[in-house]
């Protein structure tokens, strides 16, 4: 269900931004028309359908798809956000990247609870293979350098993301790369926004809205030491 919403969102964005029908059809059918995207899809499908691989191995591949195959595209859209461009695209991307991050975290957590985990060598082989495919995709997706972003920096970022994923899966770092994009460091901070202007892209803290009740003049007597219902644990 969640992935269907993601697909619908990207489809609506393509409809909005791409006016040329032929180009729109080309992008809608990217899995067939763009070889590097087809290669990513084939890699994912191979692991999904591989009956000879254990559940743990396929779970690691799932983590690679969610954590590596999306990271480059997400970074390029956050690059637009840093420059204040295309707010509709960047906000929807925040929501989707949040979901994909949860999927990656879930895969790593589930793998840590398995009795028959994938071997460290197998984990490394799967992740490094995914990195190679994603770097090939980004080389084609960024044929020319932009201000603060190019294919070399993006390759470095993919290696940085892969190292973090390897550590989350219980392995050692392979690439020992640093994050070349400062704006990707900032997305880990809590999202704050003007409440009257737009929504925050973070998940709502449980119970915050539920606890907000209307007060009448009769029950406006001071409560507690702070003189009311105000607490410091609510997310403003």
Contacts 24+ apart (CB under 8 A), 212-218: none
Q: Which of 10, 17, 175, 203 is catalytic?
A: 10
Phi, psi of 149 (to 5 degrees): -155, 130
Q: Tell me the H-state helices in the chain.
A: 2-17, 21-28, 30-33, 35-49, 55-64, 71-82, 87-113, 120-141, 151-168, 182-186
Instruction: For 146, list phi and psi in degrees, rounded to 5.
Output: -110, 170
Is residue 166 within 8 Å of residue 174, measured between CB atoms?
Answer: yes
Helices 120-141 + 35-49 axis angle, to 10: 160
Q: Is 17 an active-site residue?
A: no
Catalytic residues: 10
């Amino acid at each position: 269900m969640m992935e269907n919403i993601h697909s619908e969102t990207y489809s609506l964005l393509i409809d909005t931004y791409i006016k040329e029908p032929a180009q729109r059809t080309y992008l809608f059918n990217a899995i067939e028309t763009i070889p590097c995207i087809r290669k990513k899809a084939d890699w994912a499908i191979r692991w999904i359908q591989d009956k000879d691989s254990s559940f743990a191995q396929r779970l690691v591949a799932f983590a690679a798809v969610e954590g590596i195959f999306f990271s480059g595209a997400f970074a390029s859209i956050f690059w637009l956000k840093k420059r204040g461009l295309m707010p509709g695209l960047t906000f929807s991307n925040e929501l989707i990247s949040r979901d994909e991050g949860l999927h990656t975290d879930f895969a790593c957590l589930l793998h840590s609870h398995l009795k028959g985990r994938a071997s460290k060598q197998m984990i490394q082989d799967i992740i490094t293979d995914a990195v190679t495919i994603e770097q090939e995709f980004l080389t084609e997706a960024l044929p020319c350098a932009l201000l603060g972003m190019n294919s070399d920096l993006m390759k470095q970022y993919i290696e940085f993301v892969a190292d973090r994923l390897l550590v989350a899966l219980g392995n050692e770092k392979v690439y020992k790369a640093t994050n070349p994009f400062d704006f990707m460091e900032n997305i880990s901070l809590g999202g704050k926004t003007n409440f009257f202007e737009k929504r925050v892209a973070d998940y709502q803290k449980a119970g915050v809205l539920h606890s907000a009740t209307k007060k009448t003049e009769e029950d406006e007597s001071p409560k507690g030491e702070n003189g009311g219902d105000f607490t410091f644990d609510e997310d403003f």
